[in-house]
């Protein structure tokens, strides 16, 4: 398999399938396309017609869109438990993942993912604060209701954790208020070997995207 991604420091969508594949133990090659450069769009279009990353290639099959990549990984490796096994719990995991995929635009705009940003308090717009509060509630409720079998949102690591991984970085580096339960969940995510590998690689990158650097 071959995963095409953007800069590890900034590409929030890329982190999601990458951390899932690493955690699942799926071997893959990766290509990093640095973003916000003159050749970025052409380089992305060379891999998939929507001109975005991530893109997963499995032989001749080219899959765009993060949520479709995660679904494909679940179908391709059904023994790895990328979604919870229980029907109702799986539905809840998919519901919060769908919220993440389609929502929280103000938070994403005001607080871009930036792995190597030093932790520094940033107070985003009121709308972004409302969205952060919803995410805090999602994490707290998931942990309290479904998390007994492990430290992730649904106990074991699932696609829902992959979907929220970039937001863990945002809550951390912008010091966004959260519950003690969410704080412990964030610590779990940031202690994952896959997280540490991605984080170290992001710090080794030299590209800087000024528009993603929030004071």
Ligand X SMILES: N[C@@H](CCC(=O)N[C@@H](CS)C(=O)NCC(=O)O)C(=O)O
Chain residues binding ligand X by CB under 6 A are 6, 11-14, 35, 40-41, 44, 52-54, 65-66
| Cβ 162 to ligand X shortest distance, Å | 12
Q: Tokens standing for 98?
A: 């769908």
| Cβ 37 to ligand X shortest distance, Å | 9
Q: Write the Ramachandran bin of 65: left for phi over 0, alpha for psi from -120 to 50, otherwise beta.
A: left
| Cβ 66 to ligand X shortest distance, Å | 4
| Separation between Cα atoms, residue 127 and residue 81, nearest integer Å | 35
Closer residue to ligand X (CB): 58 or 65 = 65
The b-or-e profile of 62-98 (16+ CB within 10 A means b, else e) is ebbbbbebbbbbbeeeeebbbbbeeeebbebbbebbe
- Taking each helix axis from N to C end, the angle separating 12-24 and 193-204, rounded to the nearest 10 degrees, works out to 140
How many CB atoms are closer than 10 A to CB 55? 25
| Separation between Cα atoms, residue 56 and residue 68, nearest integer Å | 10
Closer residue to ligand X (CB): 36 or 184 = 36
Closer residue to ligand X (CB): 13 or 154 = 13
Closer residue to ligand X (CB): 42 or 204 = 42
| Cβ 11 to ligand X shortest distance, Å | 4
| Cβ 184 to ligand X shortest distance, Å | 27
Closer residue to ligand X (CB): 12 or 142 = 12
């Amino acid at each position: 398999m071959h995963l095409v991604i953007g800069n590890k420091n900034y590409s929030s969508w890329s982190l999601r399938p990458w951390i899932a594949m690493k955690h699942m133990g799926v071997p893959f090659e990766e290509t990093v396309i640095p973003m916000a450069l003159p050749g970025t769009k052409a380089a992305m279009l060379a891999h998939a017609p929507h001109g975005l990353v991530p893109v997963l290639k499995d032989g001749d099959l080219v899959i765009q869109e993060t949520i479709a990549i995660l679904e494909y990984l679940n179908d391709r490796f059904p023994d790895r438990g990328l979604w919870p096994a229980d029907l109702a719990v799986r539905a809840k995991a998919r519901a919060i993942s769908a919220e993440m995929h389609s929502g929280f635009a103000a938070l994403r705009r005001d607080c871009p993912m930036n792995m190597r940003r030093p932790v520094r308090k940033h107070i985003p717009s009121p709308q972004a604060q409302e969205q952060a509060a919803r995410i805090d509630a999602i994490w707290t409720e998931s942990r309290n209701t479904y998390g007994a079998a492990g430290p992730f949102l649904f106990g074991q690591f699932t696609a829902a954790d992959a979907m929220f991984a970039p937001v863990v970085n945002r809550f951390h580096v912008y010091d966004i208020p959260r519950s003690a339960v969410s704080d412990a969940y964030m610590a779990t995510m940031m202690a994952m070997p896959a997280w540490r590998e991605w984080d170290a690689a992001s710090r080794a990158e030299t590209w800087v995207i000024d528009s993603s650097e929030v004071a």
